Amino acid sequence: MTMTRTTGTRYGMLPVAMLAVLAAGCGTQQPGDTADAYRRSHPTPTGISTPSTPVDFPCPGESPTPTPPPTAATSGSAAPGDHYAENHGFRVPFPLHGQRRCDGLVAVGRIEAALEPLRKRGDFAPEHTRSALTGLGYPAGKVRSYENGPTGVGFLIEVDATPLCVEGTMNRDSTRANPFGGYPDHSGCDTPSGGH
């Protein structure tokens, strides 16, 4: 009696059969099919959340329509093909929204009020600016001040660890401060020196 060995043939057919099954699912799109037709026949399952736009509302003492925060697109992007903005996106601070934005505006108001007497006197010494800011209760290790030109001073305060940051300048003409929420890829309020 002669026996035929078919075991090797059966195992060799398994990959071919699997390939045929996988290939059968490809190429099922018919001419004229659109993404809308697909979405109608395959609705998004419920329970899956989609990212929402942060909600801003008027803060106490503010007009009903807040001014939009500056975006990366308005920060001086160069000609198309220049990847400067893309490569330096890590240096664009996070804007504040909702109650955090209101908290930032309150901090700015306190800071500007504390620095205004120094500005009126023409006192732009970084150590005096720092003393005025720590006098508001901000920890000394979270307050930085530095010379900003011949007649000005700059400052950076980490208001809280969330982080809520306030950065600004003071000179003989004005005191300006802006709140922000830190930076991507970096903890703290200081501008990161290196990117991704």
Residue 173 has pLDDT above 70, yes or no: yes
Residue 152, domain member (yes or no): yes
What total of structural domains would you count in the chain? 1
Spell out the residues 6+ positions from residue 158 whose beta carbon is closer than 8 angstroms to its own: 138, 142, 143, 164, 165, 188, 189
Residues 175/133, Cβ–Cβ less than 8 Å: no
What is the CB neighbour count within 10 angstroms for residue 84?
12
Domain of 145, in residue numbers: 91-180
Residues 143/134, Cβ–Cβ less than 8 Å: yes
Residue 174, domain member (yes or no): yes
What is the model's pLDDT at position 19? 54
What is the model's pLDDT at position 145? 97
Residue 194, domain member (yes or no): no
The listed range with the strongest mean pLDDT (71-75, 117-121, 157-161) is 117-121
Residue 153, domain member (yes or no): yes
Residue 115, domain member (yes or no): yes
Residue 87 has pLDDT above 80, yes or no: no
What is the model's pLDDT at position 20? 57
Residue 25, domain member (yes or no): no
This prediction has a pTM of: 0.63
Q: Render 70-94 in DSSP notation, one character per residue.
A: P-GGGTT--STT--HHHHTGGGSPP
Residue 136, domain member (yes or no): yes
The C-alpha atoms of residue 128 and residue 119 are separated, in whole angstroms, by 11
Residue 116, domain member (yes or no): yes
Q: What is the mean pLDDT of residues 40-46?
A: 53
pLDDT band at 184 (very low <50, low <70, confident <90, very high): confident
Which of the 8 DSSP states describes residue 140? G
The C-alpha atoms of residue 69 and residue 109 are separated, in whole angstroms, by 17
